[in-house]
Amino acid sequence: MVAISSSTMQILWNGTPTQKFKPSKWIKQGCPLSSVPLLHDRVTKSTLSFVVEKVRHKLQSWEVRKLSMARRVTLAQSILLTIPNYFIQTMLISKGVCEEIEKIVRWFIWGCTIGHPKLALVGWDSICQPRFCDGLGFRHLHYQNNSFLMKIGFNLITKDNALWVRVLRKKYRLKEQLPEPFAKSQYLHLWRSLSKIWPFLCENLAWSMGNGTSIRC
């Protein structure tokens, strides 16, 4: 750990100044720098269990039986399904986490409570259809997760001048415009997540006319 140093100073000790020293500010172990956990190991279902708990905790402040169907749908779309958005934008989360969150949302939509389950009148796949297809416009979290990652991958290929792209390309020595799949264990979770959707991304790319600087000979 490296200290944050400032200017030198002296202390009067029994009327005599001590030798000059540099005061240091240390960050104690355990002091939270961010509310987001710093992940170093493999991301599993248990790793992101706190996201599921956040969704459950949000429901505790709502009285489901007093909410209309339309209001429950609105709350599910605008609040419950936006809680995991921060995490699914930068890492590939397991299907188990997505299914667990979607299960909680389904129960809430149909007015289910603990000990009082209800029959779902419409399947989840039908609810996730667009409104012009008689759905409610919900989205599968797993597909939304893949879409976010594909957006990052597309920007990595097309935005050469972006600072974050230049830093990551320099760090991982990616010289080609369309790098080969990468999934080394020492890479960040973002890179390992991108490696899972990379083949599908490459299959759906189309070249546009340019100045020829990004063409591999």
- Please report the pLDDT score of residue 43 as a whole number: 66
What ranges in 128-211 are assigned the alpha helix state H? 141-158, 163-171, 189-203
State in Å, rounded, how far the first CA of the chain is from the last one. 46
Beta pairing class for 4-5 and 24-25:
antiparallel
The three state secondary structure string of 101-130 is HHHHHHHHHCCCECCECCCCCCCHHHHCCC
User: Per the structure block, which two tokens stand in for 8?
Assistant: 């030198």
- Please report the pLDDT score of residue 216 as a whole number: 57
- Please report the pLDDT score of residue 217 as a whole number: 46
Check pLDDT > 80 for residue 5. no
Check pLDDT > 80 for residue 7. no
Burial class (CB in 10 A: 0-12, 13-18, 19+), 15: exposed
Distance CA 146, CA 24 (A): 45
Percentage above 70 pLDDT, the chain: 76
- Please report the pLDDT score of residue 169 as a whole number: 80
CA atoms within 13 A on the CB side of 12: 2
- What is the residue-averaged pLDDT of the chain? 79
Beta pairing class for 16-17 and 12-13:
antiparallel
* Per-residue CA distances from 131 to 68, 127, 134, 135, 208 (Å): 19, 9, 5, 5, 33
Q: Tell me the residue type at 93.
A: I
Distance CA 58, CA 45 (A): 20
- Please report the pLDDT score of residue 143 as a whole number: 92
Domain boundaries along the sequence of the chain: 49-139, 145-203
Check pLDDT > 70 for residue 86. yes
| DSSP state for residue 181 in the 8-state scheme | P
